[in-house]
Structure 1
């Protein structure tokens, strides 16, 4: 009985992950109609697990199910970004504050190592490597905060941000600005200053949103 129920569950989860990757890479860009029949044929599956996978992605805000019209990759507006970044700033600020009290010497050493990678990537203007280290820095702070509910909500909201057609690090001067902000956050955590850690993390998140706004404005002027 148990074995017969595992395979379908694993199948729709695998399909959801594959579609999630295609959405994040913008192979399926925002606004795209999801052709269920074509995808089912491509993956060699029935439409049942595909539809279950789409329900999962809909719960994450990555796709939108429209009655009698089908499924579409969610389009995220500037207002959506404003609202999501505001919430993330609050949550990640709380993580930074909590991490100050909970960080062990080993945790601090790990943060220093990640920041060293940020410094090296910035010096080499390696945006991909910087982005990966940036993600790691934030994730480690969230792990140190040791609040699984905060981590879960932040991860869900960051999935929505990935729907944006642009990345803040491509804004002129943003990489250097982001590096300086990370330095300030690390300094606050090392100094065991919860107020400064929270304030600087919130400022860092809002700076990222401002960079995305500059990119959008430049795109609109060009259009």
Structure 2
């Protein structure tokens, strides 16, 4: 793809985003070697912006740089996944507690609307797994925005990128969609009742069950 088709933002950022999506969509498999020459030719760019893009992805944990061997798509071990879910559980449970105690009625309505979209995507007659997980992520990120701590948001954003490397495993587990929806209902109920402790507990349970499904 010629370079002139890329947007005006920094070239390496655009390349990083394209590679990020290819990794999330499994076009670039975990553990696979990234052929820099082939990608640079396909995008019509030099190796310099590509290497800058790979540095960005390495900082996010999506790519692993190996000395004298180049860049590889990161393989997430069970330990990695457990560590990521543990941290997300702590950070997002804390955010849920903040939202329960400080969110405005309008902000809670926003979360209720997203939850309704989640319910629709999980309709038993025709569940849409991809849409469900897309809305699920929007719900979690909106909750974090409402909790309003940019440092926590940045940490969660990076951790969720690593989590996405494994998400399709949990996506296909039988009954996981319905379980996840039930957990969201419990979180939403606690938030609506402005129960800080229960909101935190329900969010931690959500991540605990998510990890079990992912393994």
Q: Is 1:56 matched with 2:56?
A: yes
Moved >2 Å (runs of 4+): none
Aligned pair count reads 207
Structure 1 residues 189 and 165, CA gap change in structure 2 (3 angstroms): closer
Give unmatched runs, 5+ long, in structure 1: 1-6, 214-223
In 2, Cα distance between the equivalents of 1:90 and 1:30? 27
Q: CA deviation at 1:165?
A: 6.4
Alignment of 1:133-212 (within 5 A): 133-164=135-166, 166-212=168-214
Q: CA RMSD in A?
A: 1.5
In 1, Cα distance between the equivalents of 2:73 and 2:202? 34
Q: What is the TM-score with the length of structure 1 in the denominator? A: 0.89
Q: What is the TM-score with the length of structure 2 in the denominator? A: 0.92
Q: CA deviation at 1:9?
A: 6.9
Partner of 2:128: 126
**Greater per-residue helix proportion:** 1
Give unmatched runs, 5+ long, in structure 2: 1-6
Q: Per-residue CA shift, 1:77-107, capped at 9, x if unaligned?
A: 1111011101110011011011112211111
In 2, Cα distance between the equivalents of 1:9 and 1:189? 39
Q: The residue matched to 2:71 in structure 1 has which SS? A: strand
Partner of 2:88: 88
Q: Per-residue CA shift, 1:141-171, capped at 9, x if unaligned?
A: 1111001111110010010111126342321
